[in-house]
Structure 1
Amino acid sequence: MSLLALPLLAFLSIFLTPTTAVSSSTLQLARSHSVTPNAGAPLSAWAASVAAQSAADTARIVSMLTSGAGPLTTRAKPKPKNRANPPVPIAPGRQILSIPNYIARAGLGTPAQTLLVAIDPSNDAAWVPCSACAGCAASSPSFSPTQSSTYRTVPCGSPQCAQVPSPSCPAGVGSSCGFNLTYAASTFQAVLGQDSLALENNVVVSYTFGCLRVVSGNSVPPQGLIGFGRGPLSFLSQTKDTYGSVFSYCLPNYRSSNFSGTLKLGPIGQPKRIKTTPLLYNPHRPSLYYVNMIGIRVGSNVVQVPQSALAFNPVTGSGTIIDAGTMFTRLAAPVYAAVRDAFRGRVRTPVAPPLGGFDTCYNVTVSVPTVTFMFAGAVAVTLPEENVMIHSSSGGVACLAMAAGPSDGVNAALNVLASMQQQNQRVLFDVANGRVGFSRELCTA
């Protein structure tokens, strides 16, 4: 599917209906919800916009599995400061910047220059558009290094230069370190620099990031990105002595335009009652957050899925990751087929024609069963209807908001639990203690 349709992402917020707020008291919600579409509603623009996002998800999954991040610099347990840190407000980028990522306000440089940066747990290096960037969005703010008294370039031969993908040092040791990177359907060239970075009132001195010089493609977040992956130049690694390699987020509903979600940094202030599952480490994909998903329920019944399609295996690439940059959950083909068939069996209503990349759609009233992801450690995350179904603008069609992953290659074995299925939940990433946690929390306003 072509990514030339990506500008249609701006339509997604127009052609999707608002949802009802959900209770924050428990992960286990009602067993079924009623969906009453209005048959015959115009669907062409909505279907095109959803198809564009589906294509963007595919490109993202391919790029994050093929762009190496280098080995982790250390796996020693850090010692963070014993204090709570101010939460960082986050918002869906769809309404504000027409991107699928969630965003936060960042202050870069001295004096601080404000940018709305994407928060991406599956990437490492941070990068922002800099002055005179060729191919960057002309209508969006950029960072001016010359206007910051604390900016400096990172030289070739430095440890940081060795940690970026495809470093470039044509002028030799001591010159500015450059690097190339692929992000979804885009590629870019950047120069490595350092400056003061502030997320809310959390200030990091001499943060290392890429200053974008040349961008090709339209999937790069227009005001930059901060990577919260596990690699050496990620936010976690650069701030491990301050925040202890711990963070969590609560993602608001993607149709919201409010900064009502929060990113919490450090172990202090995280939920005390939260069920956790072990965090797994894949040496071939060291930046990604793997967990052991052991089963899926549709309604009260466990779906019959081959365990080989769920089992974590770094050699074959199989397993499950938590990702907030992909919008719709992608399941390995045999897993998705089993979930889809179980879902259709519970609904017991003929499906409508596929739309926007989704093959389980309805244009009549249906009762929507819950979907539960089951993880090692007796952790079960049950999704409410708003995390399961995507709706057309007038309610004409409602579709199961999941799809099958690629049919072949290393990506075919991967299950990606995406942002729509995480919204209005607190997801904890405790790398220091090797765990990921889930706790229901309403953060949509």
Structure 2
Amino acid sequence: MASSLSLLCIILCFSSLSVSFSEILLLPLTHSLSKTQFNSTHHLLKSISYRSASRFQGHHQRRQVSLPLSPGSDYTLSFTLGSDPPQLISLYMDTGSDLVWFPCSPFECILCEGKYNPSTTPPPPKVHKNATVPCKSRACSAVHSSLSSSDLCAISRCPLESIEMSDCSSFSCPPFYYAYADGSLIARLYKDILSVPNSVQPSLLLPNFTFGCAHTALGEPIGVAGFGRGLLSLPAQLSSFSPQLGNQFSYCLVSHSFDQDRVRHPSPLILGRYNEKEKDLGNDGAGFVYTSMLENRKHPYFYCVGLDGISVGRRTIPTADTLKRVDGRGNGGMVVDSGTTFTMLPASLYNKVVTEFGRRVGRVHERAIDVEDKTGLGPCYYYDKVVNVPAVVLHFVGNGSRVVLPRRNYFYEFIDSDKKRNVGCFMLMDGGDDADLSGGPGATLGNYQQQGFEVVYDLEKRRVGFARRHCASLWDTLNRT
């Protein structure tokens, strides 16, 4: 009787998995930032522009992960961890990180300056001590920057004879250190069941999912769901379980203008591939334009692409060769990044772009220098009723890979609270002198400029695609199937 029940359980389990495998996984992304969190629009934009610049500069230092410690325009998603009992965790979705991690209990926060209050903050998840990852595992080596398993087991005090016999399974992977733009942490690797929610089918259970638990952090940490190109990222672990779901993912960020009242739908995060022709996307059924992923040996988890030029109005400004490719030292290319808010360009390209933009707008409208100082953006211009701005187009390397940005993606309009005047600011930022960008990407495509597009990461064909979409409608369409 017991064996019959076991067989029935196995059949039912595999039946539920086959349903999940045959469909996409549709997850809701929630935008985490609102104007109400700040004293003024100036403060909002200044904070976000500062964080975008800090994250971009951190990519050119010896940083392993970037975190949204200061307020930023990031998107969260939720999972359930474990089964005894299951614990809900909310994480930031980040294509610039290759690890899923979050603070765990017991947790010590150093120099949090009152931001982290254990009495008012929900307690971090607890993990079972017997769920640690062995020192002699690919996961342990990956999180320790490919340090050999023998070295790691020696650090874990596995006896020499056991190391020689590859018999260190009872010795845990040693703690690892992660540094980021404005903090750091020490964490351990664990394994447990991860339940991935799905809006169109039952949740998918991933057994033995590997993740990092931070027990000590300098600065208030916020957990991250890494979607980068690494062994421990969520897509990579999902791919080992179901290649159909893990080899491609996409998201479509609902346009928000930092106003939560405008956002009536979540932004869809789609794991797996759906047939565009079978879905009634209406006027949003435009096909994707693709550009190839570039390999980056220094930052292998980045989604790097080549940027060929930027058009402002009718003038196309070509980029330097460093933005079209990545060299052996990790220099160059443009990173498509869900965790950076504003697009960052090298100074040489940025100056040419804003000069052309200013030539067209500045001859009609008054420059708002004081607003530029208060927001970190520019150029900014005052206007009375309406302001005409030139179109901005990104030209990626590849045959006809051009992406026309909607106006609201690169020109932010608001009321200057000091002068009570309408003002608009250009939203692509100066990433710094080209000489200071060695050892990292030449540019970053931020999530604000990705709004209103379905951005697809095709890991099987090593390409990134863009298609204009009404993201709220896409959520409704996929959620009905």
Q: Does residue 210 of structure 1 match 2:184?
A: no
Residue deviations 1:380-404 (CA, integer Å, cap 9, x gap): 1111121112234567422101111
* 1:53 aligned to which of 48, 51, 54: 48
8 A contact 1:252–1:444 mirrored in 2: yes
From the superposition, tell whether residues 191 and 11 of structure 1 become closer, same or farther in structure 2 (CA, over 3 Å).
closer
Q: Is 2:332 aligned against 1:318? A: yes
In 1, the alpha carbon distance for the partners of 2:191 and 2:346 equals: 40
Match status 1:106 vs 2:79: yes
Q: Distance in 1 between matches of 2:181 and 2:212?
A: 17
Deviations along 1:329-365, whole A, 9 cap, x unmatched?
A: 1001111111111111221333210232112001214
| Cα pair distance change 1:262/1:269, threshold 3 Å | farther
Alignment of 1:7-406 (within 5 A): 13-14=35-36, 45-67=40-62, 99-110=72-83, 111-135=85-109, 137=116, 138=118, 139-146=121-128, 152-165=131-144, 170-173=155-158, 174-200=171-197, 201-218=203-220, 220-221=221-222, 224-241=223-240, 242=242, 243-254=245-256, 255=258, 256=260, 260-269=266-275, 273-303=287-317, 305-315=318-328, 317-347=331-361, 348=363, 349-353=365-369, 354=372, 355-364=374-383, 365-375=386-396, 376-392=398-414, 396-406=422-432
| Higher alpha-carbon Rg | 2
CA contact (8 A) 1:68 1:285 kept: no
Deviation at 1:429, TM superposition (A): 0.3
Conserved? CA contact 1:11–1:45, under 8 Å: no
Distance in 1 of aligned mates of 2:458 and 2:189: 28
Q: How big is the shift at 1:308?
A: 2.8
What secondary structure, in the 3-state scheme, does the structure 2 residue paired with 1:377 have?
coil
Distance 2:60 2:468 in 1: 29
What are the ranges of 5 or more consecutive residues in structure 1 without an aligned counterpart? 1-9, 17-43, 71-92
Q: Does the 8 Å CA contact 2:82/2:194 hold for their aligned counterparts?
A: yes
| Contact 1:429–1:437 (Cα < 8 Å) also in 2 | yes
**Aligned residue identity for 1:128:** F
SS of aligned partner of 2:184: strand
RMSD, matched Cα = 3.0
* Residue identity matched to 1:262: P
Deviation of the 1:68 alpha carbon: 6.6
Q: Any idea what SS the aligned residue of 1:325 has?
A: coil
Name the residue aligned to 1:3. none
Q: What is the SS of the residue equivalent to 2:448?
A: helix
Cα deviation digits, residues 239-284 of structure 1 (max 9, x gap): 2231242111111234336552111112345688322111111112
3-state DSSP class of the match of 1:238?
Answer: helix
Measure, in 1, the Cα distance between the counterparts of 2:322 and 2:137: 42
Q: What's the CA shift string for 1:95-117, capped at 9, x where partnerless?
A: xx954321111111114211221
Distance 1:176 1:435 in 2: 34
Q: 1:141 to 1:442 in 2, by over 3 A?
A: farther
Letter in 2 for 1:298: V
Normalised TM-score (structure 1): 0.77
Q: Deviations over 1:104-148 (max 9, x none)?
A: 1111111421122111001001101111211184314521114x9
Name the amino acid aligned to 2:125. Answer: F
Letter in 2 for 1:397: V
Distance 1:64 1:205 in 2: 32
Q: Deviations over 1:164-185 (max 9, x none)?
A: 0368775424034311112331
Structure 2 residues without counterparts, runs of 5 or longer = 1-31, 159-170, 198-202, 279-286, 474-481
C-alpha separation between the residues in 1 aligned to 2:224 and 2:37? 27
The aligned amino acid for 1:145 is V
Structure 1: how far apart are the matches of 2:210 and 2:277?
30
The alpha-carbon distance between structure 1 residues 64 and 209, as it changes in their structure 2 partners (threshold 3 A), is: farther
Count of matched residue pairs: 379
Q: Distance in 2 between matches of 1:217 and 1:342?
A: 41
TM-score when scaled to structure 2?
A: 0.72
How far apart in 2 are the matches of 1:142 and 1:165?
Answer: 24
Corresponding letter in the other structure for 1:226: A
Cα distance in 1 for residues equivalent to 2:423 and 2:37: 11
The range that moved more, 162-171 or 183-192, is: 162-171
Higher helix share: 2
Q: In 2, are the aligned partners of 1:125 and 1:227 still within 8 Å (CA)?
A: yes
The CA distance in 1 between the partners of 2:355 and 2:402, in whole Å, is 21
Partners of 1:392 and 1:370 in 2: CA distance: 19
Contact preservation (8 Å) 1:278, 1:291: yes
